[in-house]
Structure 1
Amino acid sequence: MNSKLLQRICYACGTFGHDVFYAMIGTYFMIFVTSNLFHSDNPSHDAYMIGIVTTIILVLRILELFVDPFIGNLIDKTKTRWGRFKPWVIVGAFVAAITLAFLFTDFGGLTVTNPTLYLILFAIVYFIMDIFYSAKDVAIWSMIPALSFDSHERDITATIARIGSVFGANLVTVIVMPVVLYFSLNQNGGAGDPTGWFAFACVGGGIATLGAIILGLGTHEQESALRENKTETSAKDVFKVLTQNDQLMWTAIAYLVYGIGINIVNNFNLYYFIYVIGDATKFSILGVINTVIGLIAVALFPALTAKFSRRKLFFASIAIMLVALLIYAGSGTNVTMALIGAGLFALPQPLIFLVVLMTITDSVEYGQLKIGHRDEAVCLCVRPLVDKFAGAVSSGIIGLVAVWVGMTGGASAADIKPDALFHFQIVMFAAPIVLMVIASFIYRAKVTLTEAEHARIVRELEEKWEDLSK
């Protein structure tokens, strides 16, 4: 096996574990919170606690908007014998996995015996988890522009990495309910019990940490004069870097609006199978479907962008997802139709992720030419920052809607009233359709950084940096 192929496989192992973790915290943690975390004899108190936890998560994620760029700036200034990024990936994975396991518990019964102390400890542990996860997230995806300056080569590297992450995210969909129910002592209406969810957290955190270690052992950064900044970005200039890079910011805004929409659907998928269809075991089938079609879609990404361009691929993907939501919304309790709609909705998601990731990656050179210095991690931190913020907003929506429509505690499909089901479907299907249409208009009007434009920028940079080095 040649060294380039080995490096790509090791990098994909890292992204595989990384998306296992992301799916756990971004999608399934709120299901644990709403169905298992609070179990007092007072349902209204439990609903109140769910609302407080949801609010804490949202507030911390908003605060993180101001922290992540500084994490990226710190990573950009890191110089070690192991490179700029790998120490952050490995340490971040280890700390995040340990703290995640704690979050999937009630801290020794404090949710009942001392709710106030529980909320304080929850906020502290969640913040620690989120900061270290953020450092890992920024570092792992910031490695792409450090591996190559060629847009097509970056497409290939990102494709292989995304194959790993798609497999990781969808593996969680496959194993979540089997693992939870296997370790659970009480099935709890098909949602499992706290013991099962804690076991799930330990398994997922272990996989994420192992993937980070493999990435650390098997990857190497490319050395280039273009990666040597003539001046470093100071902490007070971090936000200036972001605001002056208009292509980075407009891409991020479009991706944020889109991300809130798809996260609402993705986070509600398991709720749909538990509380609408009434059979959580069928949810694993969706995981298998999404894994297969996701891997196929990602594998085709370089060929699709070469033939149609990233821009056209973005709009085609949005169109497919809108059709999928209409099918999904009309499926009712029909498992086959629900699987077709949900699977078709998931099909283009890896493609849009890659389009956005490559555009943000290319914005590194765009900003370097425009501002005069290179900020790899500061620019690349925007994508995970947007992902996490969109996930926090959608998690807040999920928690509030779950309480609103009665999809909490030991409720089953038979307990959901028709008007509550209607409200659930409006939030799960109609709202995301509106958000994705808005995102498409923003992207079409404001994002102009194409592959050809990036190639021109790189040529100009090489000439400029060569003149400066003389």
Structure 2
Amino acid sequence: MNKVKQSVTYAFGAFGHDAFYAALTTYFITFITSQLFEDSDGKQINGWMIGFITTMIVVIRIVEIFFDPLIGALIDNTQTRWGKFKPWIMGGAIISSITLIMIFSNFFGLTESNPDLYLILFAVVFIIADFSYSALDVAFWGLLPSLSLKSSDRTHIGTIARFGSTLGSTGTAIVLVPINVWVSRWLTGSTDNTQTRAGWLGFAIFISALSLIGALLTCWGTQEGKSPIRKNVRKTSFKDIFRILGRNDQLMWLAASYFLFALGFAVTNSMIVYYFRYVLGKPGEYSMVGVVEAILGIIAVLMFPTLQRLITRKWVYVSSIGVMVIGYVLYNFSGDSVPMALVSTALLYVAQPLVFLATLMTISDCVEYGQLRSGARNESVTLTVRPLLDKLGGAFSNGIVGIAAIGAGMTGSATAADITATGVLHFKVFMLYIPMVFVIVAAVLFAVKITLTERRHAEIVKELAAKFD
């Protein structure tokens, strides 16, 4: 398989994949709290439903913790002419794209005409959307360690893929407002920069199309590698899943560290749009956040291979979180300054791709580490851990953001002028102070407990090759 073709098509898949994830986690909660439950006059209705839905999302994603490893086991046990990953990537992309469009609607006015029926339908559709995306997510990132056994090759492919995913997530922030406003003007006849429910629906359709196209390109352009080591696979029974994960101590410590990081970042990332709208009073400037994130995210991704060679993965992870902490401190003093807020945001966003890549590469290497310890290879089950933690962090962040937004008065048609000093302080506790503690603890755990270095992984591959060749 042509390595360039494989890397590029995998990157296109990551582009659509992360655009979808941003829409489902970061911006869906904004849609719920700001415009889903407005009546025809633009006034907020059924405010209790905001809390109900955010709680429902958290509960669903907590339950999902126990199902993601099952999905990984199903993928590991899959045997088709297209391999074990592609059927799940394509099927998950189709179903999740359709259901994303549905949850970004009010089900033909049911939020006003029949709220109880709306909540029932929403629960059903959201569960389908979340679980189909889980299948896509686990299969997509589970494909990475099957493409090569070398850490250097994985770093190359993973870096290019992260380049694509960074463009996907940051591009979503850039196009969110323009697409929303354009569709709103087209469908509702508005002449200003008003964002409407119709605009949000148009945004969801656009993101769903990107996700579907990316999945198609990935399935077309990638090919699972073949080696004696990859043949050391036995059927994974459901009762063995958590035993397999539990015996991989490096995977478990990494999971604890990355969960705290993912939760802290997801909370802050979801609340930046609120900061620009309700604290700075300049929602239109939020598009600049996407520009900053895109530029610095790309730079960070391109720097990763060099940084890994110079200071190793472990210290890329730890030092990146150090940069984030500086960003949190500066954010606290940004006040009503848009440039200061953008600088603070930049420090958060330049660090996040580096932490993600260090985590992804370490989890990929945990496949061989776990194989050496358990005697059998479990690619998808192992790779379920990272997306599971991202989704779990996103779920808790949705609940935290909902609590913070309601407590600070940042809902419905409220403006920056309506938010009190107490409300701003309440908001900052959730946006800055609590997440900063989470990421600091994450850095300490990684520095102290992770011993699976690049050198150690190369030694493990040699041991496995000698055994199975």
Task: Indicate the TM-score class for this superposition, using the shorter chain for normalisation.
Answer: over 0.9
Corresponding residue of 1:461: 464
For residue 47 of structure 2, give the secondary structure of its aligned residue in structure 1: helix
Q: Deviations over 1:318-369 (max 9, x none)?
A: 1100001111221111111111110111001000000011111100001000
Indicate how the Cα distance of structure 1 residues 34 and 367 shifts in structure 2: closer, same or farther if over 3 A, else same: same
Matched, 1:316 2:319: yes
| In the alignment, structure 1 residue 359 sits paired with structure 2 residue 362 | yes
1:417-445 Cα offsets, whole Å, 9 max, x none, are 11101110111111111111111122122
Question: Residue 205 and residue 42 in structure 1: after superposition, are their counterparts in 2 closer, same or farther (change >3 A)?
Answer: closer
Residue number in structure 1 paired with 2:9: 10
Letter in 1 for 2:167: F
Q: One-letter code of the match for 1:34?
A: T
Match of 1:26 in 2: 25
1:238 aligns with 2:241: yes
TM-score, normalized by length of structure 2? 0.96
| Partners of 1:189 and 1:412 within 8 A in 2 | no
Conserved 8 A contact 2:176-2:203:
yes
For the residue of structure 1 that corresponds to 2:66, the secondary structure is helix
Paired letter, 2:217? I
Q: Is the 8 A contact 2:372 2:464 kept in 1?
A: yes
Deviation at 1:227? 0.9
Q: Which residue number in structure 2 is paired with residue 175 of structure 1?
A: 175
CA drift of 1:300 comes to 1.3
Match of 1:150 in 2: 150
Are the aligned partners of 1:103 and 1:126 in contact in 2 as well (CA < 8 Å)?
yes
Q: What TM-score, normalized to structure 1?
A: 0.96
Hey, what's the Cα distance between the residues in 2 that align with 1:144 and 1:15? 11
Q: Secondary structure at the match of 2:208?
A: helix
Letter aligned with residue 374 of structure 2 = I
How far off its partner does 1:79 sit? 1.2
Q: Structure 1: which amino acid aligns with 2:146?
A: A
Counterpart CA distance in 2 for 1:397 and 1:463 is: 50
Aligned to 1:388: 391
Superimposed CA distance per residue, residues 239-291 of structure 1 (whole angstroms, 9 cap, x where no aligned partner): 11111111111101110011111111100011111111111111111111111
Query: Equivalences for 1:69-468 in 2 at 5 Å?
Result: 69-184=69-184, 185=188, 192-229=195-232, 231-466=234-469
Q: Which residue of 2 aligns with 1:47?
A: 47
Write the letter of the residue equivalent to 2:119: L
Distance 2:42 2:221 in 1: 52
CA distance in 1, matches of 2:305, 2:11: 16
Q: Which one is further off, 39-48 or 95-104?
A: 39-48
Asked if 2 retains the 8 angstrom alpha-carbon contact of 1:16 and 1:165, the reply is yes
Residues 44 and 413 of structure 2 are in contact (CA less than 8 Å); yes or no, is this contact kept in structure 1?
no
Post-superposition shift, 1:308? 0.6
SS in 1 for 2:83: coil
**Distance change >3 Å, CA 63–CA 186, structure 1 → 2:** farther
- SS of the equivalent of 2:82 reads coil
Instruction: Work out the CA distance in 2 between the residues paired with 1:292 and 1:433.
Output: 24
User: Would the alpha carbon gap of residues 445 and 43 (structure 1) be closer, same or farther in structure 2, given more than 3 Å must change?
Assistant: farther
| Identical columns (%) | 45
- Asked if 1 retains the 8 angstrom alpha-carbon contact of 2:318 and 2:446, the reply is no
Kindly tell me: are residues 29 and 44 of structure 1, through their superposed partners in 2, closer, same or farther at Cα, counting changes over 3 Å? closer
* The 10-residue stretch of structure 1 (451-460 or 157-166) with the greater mean CA deviation from structure 2: 451-460
Specify the alignment match of 1:58 in structure 2: 58
**C-alpha displacement of 1:200:** 0.4
Greater Cα offset, 64-73 or 35-44: 35-44
Once structures 1 and 2 are overlaid, which stretch shifts more, 34-43 or 223-232? 34-43
Evaluate the alpha carbon distance shift between residue 39 and residue 222 of structure 1 in structure 2; reply closer, same or farther with a 3 A threshold.
Answer: same
RMSD: 1.7
User: How far did 1:229 drift?
Assistant: 2.6
> Separation in 2 of the partners of 1:90 and 1:285?
33
Distance of 1:14 and 1:461 partners within structure 2: 31
User: How far off is 1:232 after superposition?
Assistant: 2.0
Q: Report deviation, 1:190.
A: 6.6
The Cα of 1:93 is off from its aligned counterpart by: 0.8
Cα separation, 2, equivalents of 1:142 and 1:457? 20
- Once structures 1 and 2 are overlaid, which stretch shifts more, 329-338 or 378-387? 329-338
Which position in structure 1 is the counterpart of 2:35? 36
Aligned to 2:107, the other structure's residue is in SS state: coil
Structure-2 change in CA distance of 1:188 and 1:308 (3 Å)? farther
Instruction: Kindly provide the CA deviation profile for residues 165-191 of structure 1, in whole angstroms up to 9, marking residues without a partner as x.
Output: 001000001000111122224989977
Point out where structure 1 has 5 or more consecutive residues left out of the alignment.
none
The Cα shift of 1:111 comes to: 1.3
Count residues with an aligned counterpart: 465
Conservation of the 8 A alpha-carbon contact between 1:191 and 1:274: no
Check 1:304–1:273 CA distance in 2 against 1; reply closer, same or farther (3 A cut): same
Which deviates further from its counterpart, 286-295 or 385-394? 286-295
Q: Does the 8 Å contact 1:177/1:280 carry over to 2?
A: no
Counterpart Cα distance in 2 of 1:400 and 1:90: 36
Conserved 8 A contact 2:38-2:44: no
Deviation at 1:46, TM superposition (A): 2.6
**How far apart, CA to CA, are the structure 1 residues paired with 2:149 and 2:243?**
24
Deviations 1:186-211 (Å, cap 9, x if unpaired)? 98997711000000000011111111
261-270 or 44-53, which deviates more: 44-53
Report deviation, 1:25. Answer: 0.6
What's the secondary structure of 2:67's corresponding residue?
helix
Q: Distance in 2 between matches of 1:224 and 1:49?
A: 53
Provide the secondary structure at the position in 1 that maps to 2:436: helix
